Chains A and B, each alone.
Chain A
Amino acid sequence: MNALTELQQFFTDPLMQRSLIAAIIVGIAAPVMGTYLVQRKLSLLGDGIGHVALTGVALGWIVGSAMGLVEKDSLAIPGAVVAAVVGAVVIEFVRERGKTSGDVALALLFYSGIAGGVVLIGLAGGTNANLMAYLFGSISTVTQLDLLLIAGLGVVIIAVGVGLRSLLFAISNDEEFARASGLPVRAANIVIAIIAALTVTVSMRVVGLLLVSAIMILPVAVAQLVTASFKTTMRVAMVVGVLVTVAGLMITYWVPLSPGATIVMVTVLVYALVAAITPLVKTSHSKGVDPHPDVPDDVTLDEEETCNE
């Protein structure tokens, strides 16, 4: 009974309702983008964009205080969106060039992003404490306006990520073949970069910029343990994303912990659990199945026809 009333309180608390909606949107949207990033072996791109977004947060803060807004940080998310999109497009151009110096260029961008954020907020008269909410997330302070932004961007991310899946898969899977099909490779790459940037800024309030990559990538890592195809990997990752964000948020309702970090730790635990269980399940499934790769024989034996196809 007691547990039920507690749950009822959790779901009727308007603050919690806002947090829950934000968490569910991020839980669905982040793994969609994460699937493409993992496929392109750009798992840490979200981290890099997150660093750059911090400068955007500080710029939004500066503009907000210059305009004399009551809520000094009401322009933080729009600022982060702009900075993250610019940063992601720059990263995409560096990636496209494929130069060895690209690695160093990225490092330059990432660290100037995070250091720029700290310096700018200082110049604007703020303190590092103001940035902490963005670095580690502060889902409990999500305002009505934040929620609208998160919902709007979330819909865009999911619509593009799921709606254009065949195209984005084709381009991520084999860029050369996509070019030989006349597909708009460069435009699609820039779309992926922009959507990844939006995902980072949407996830920022929930898990924080430092853990943004985790909520994009870890559900995909969990899904990969149990799936074979790209499509099911994305679907399972979305389900895992929602489950861990909701579970993590619920834990922090009763235990005073940082929601962002708790969500990420729940995901890591889920990963460990699935990784431990999968081999056991797979073994019992594949009993009697030849473990050798399906390669035709080099030699033909007289007594039997060898035919693997």
Chain B
Amino acid sequence: MNKSTATVLEAHNLHVTIGASHILRGIDLSVSEGEVVALLGANGSGKSTLVRALAGILPASAGRIEVFGVPLGKFVPWRKLGYVPQRVAATTGIGSTAGEVVASGLLYSGRLRLPRDYRSRVHDALTQVDLAARVDTPMANLSGGQQQRVLIARALVRQPDLLILDEPVAGVDRPSQVAFAQTLRELIGAGKTIVVVLHELGEFEPLITRTVVVRHGRIVHDGAAPTAAHEHSAHNHDHVHPHEGFMPEGSALIAETGFEA
């Protein structure tokens, strides 16, 4: 990674508390322009909470977050940030079409109404995820993988410079996973900065430039993508892992290969 480029996302001593649970316990993270960062960690490690705090969804109980150099809040250039949630929000009472959902991505702080050319922009974003023909299809009639791609289009429609994705391929059918890896490749080619929560690197391993491992609300590894995990990410690999407690703390490679048990 090139240290001289601008910092687009920064967390300093970030703590997040939900109810009585102290989820994040002092996260320091700095992401520079053009980096492709994979956030890894076991279920409940806090990786999802971390990206949700970074995207402004969860309030920090202590510490500080800066997006494009601006403290999280109204004055962040939200147009430059695209967030993709882990899964489609619970169905709402009234159906909406894929196009309507994508169009809602054109609204951000400072822009509360749709631009005039919203139709062509929605069409372009849906084309990027290979769903242009589905613009008028109700969300409920799409498969889980297609719904996920609509949410990716919703983040892309505002042409963001930084994408934050929370397990974009969890429970997604394989054709959608392959399509997503292709979309990601194009975005990286276009120079976007990407922070993606993953359960395992899998398809995405060649695309990742940096890996951050979260455990018990702290970052336990931050560095290059693991290279020793090839056989581990193979499709025929049998996922059998030692209990987390058996691993020596701070052993990066073991941590990287054993986190998703």
Centre residue among A166, A179, A293 by max chain B CB count within 10 A: A166
Residues of A within 8 A of B99 (CB): 229
B contacts with A, residue count (CB < 8 A): 49
B154 at the interface (CB under 8 A from A): yes
B98-114: which residues lie under 8 A (CB-CB) from chain A?
99-101, 103-105, 107-110, 112-114
Q: How many A-B residue pairs have CB under 8 A?
A: 128
Alpha-carbon gap, A179 to B164, bound state (A): 13
A157 CB to closest chain B CB (Å) equals 18
Per-residue interface assignment for chain B, residues 105 to 128, with 1 indicating a CB less than 8 Å from any chain A CB and 0 otherwise? 101111011100000000000000
A95 at the interface (CB under 8 A from B): no
A183 pairs with B112, CB closer than 8 A: yes
Per-residue interface assignment for chain B, residues 25 to 64, with 1 indicating a CB less than 8 Å from any chain A CB and 0 otherwise? 0000000000000000000000000001001110000000
- Known contacts A39-B94, A294-B146; decide if A180 and B138 are in contact (CB<8 Å): no
A264-309: which residues lie under 8 A (CB-CB) from chain B?
293-296, 298, 308-309
Alpha-carbon gap, A231 to B120, bound state (A): 18
A contacts with B, residue count (CB < 8 A): 39
- Known contacts A177-B104, A230-B100; decide if A38 and B78 are in contact (CB<8 Å): no
Stretch at the interface among A9-17, A54-62, A79-87, A167-175: A167-175
B112 pairs with A40, CB closer than 8 A: no
A133-185: which residues lie under 8 A (CB-CB) from chain B?
164, 166-167, 169-170, 172-184
B193 CB to closest chain A CB (Å) equals 16
B143 pairs with A167, CB closer than 8 A: no
Per-residue interface assignment for chain B, residues 137 to 151, with 1 indicating a CB less than 8 Å from any chain A CB and 0 otherwise? 110011101100001
B56 pairs with A230, CB closer than 8 A: no
New A-B contacts (7) at CB < 8 Å, excluding given A167-B113, A293-B141: A35-B94, A166-B103, A172-B92, A180-B164, A182-B110, A231-B100, A294-B142
